[in-house]
Structure 1
Amino acid sequence: MEEDWIEHRRPDDGERVGWMKPVDSGFVAIDVLGRPRTGVVDWLLAEETLDELGLAYLADPHELRLDDGSWLRVRIAEVSPSAVRVKKDDWGDMNATQIFYTVSFPVTEDRLRPLLR
């Protein structure tokens, strides 16, 4: 997270849904993974974008690029402005060994991406 990013929280519950990054005379909406979600827009559109985006996308399956270049299906476990923790998707198997990975913030799509369907 950059120092000039302005935190945005949902008005109804106060949950952080991203930041607005000042750029020129406008703002870029940044999601909680640190990814830009708009180009340069006005304040209101940046807020609306983050409010509409919400956090539901965090529950979707993702793919993590491993050091050997292969992709592993994962679920996002924790998100903070310093790192994102993901766990190998075990499809709810209670007996599966929990394997976690830490991804640097901001997340880049060449490291962690939504699962291609």
Structure 2
Amino acid sequence: MAIAADWIEHRRGDGELLGWMRPDGEGFVVIDLLGRPLTDAVDWLSAEETLEATGIGYLAELYELRLDDGRWIRVRITEASSTVLRVKNDDFGAIDVPTVEYELPFPIDDRLRPLTGERAFILDP
């Protein structure tokens, strides 16, 4: 699924896309670059402020990907666009290991979740 024609892009001062504002009644629902809604319907200014405050730093965080067999693995986002999301296995910065990439739908579903808490410190999922 691609973004709807009525979604409004919001970019920061340097032109970097931060997300979208999806019209909803009299307000706007804020959508991040993974296609996740961040708010209920809010006014225009609140929507802009939410996107500015959220930024794009979350794209550099660790995530967990649920594989078809139900296992969860550590991954990092390598590409986020309105047509595709790509992640790769987390190789801890090693340059001599094979990279395995996965292509995910936009918007993301429950197969991808932020890696938080104690799970973030498990090296071998």
Distance 2:116 2:50 in 1: 23
Residue of structure 2 in register with 1:63 after alignment: 64
Residue of structure 2 in register with 1:78 after alignment: 79
Residue of structure 1 in register with 2:5 after alignment: 3
Structure 1 stretches of 4+ with a deviation exceeding 6 A read none
TM-score of the aligned structures, taking structure 1 as reference length:
0.95
Matched, 1:111 2:116: no
| Deviation of 1:116 (Å) | 2.4
Structure 1: segments with no counterpart, 5+ residues? none
SS at match of 1:105: coil
Distance 1:112 1:48 in 2: 25
Distance 1:113 1:2 in 2: 24
| Deviation of 1:111 (Å) | 1.0
Residue of structure 1 in register with 2:122 after alignment: none
Distance 1:106 1:54 in 2: 18
| Deviation of 1:101 (Å) | 0.2
Residue of structure 1 in register with 2:121 after alignment: none
TM-score of the aligned structures, taking structure 2 as reference length:
0.90
Distance 2:64 2:99 in 1: 16
What is the identity, as a one-letter code, of the residue corresponding to 2:116? L
The 5-angstrom pairing of residues 1-117 of structure 1 reads: 1-10=3-12, 12-108=13-109, 110-117=110-117
| Deviation of 1:55 (Å) | 0.3
RMSD of aligned Cα (Å)? 0.7
Distance 2:65 2:105 in 1: 12
Distance 1:13 1:71 in 2: 36
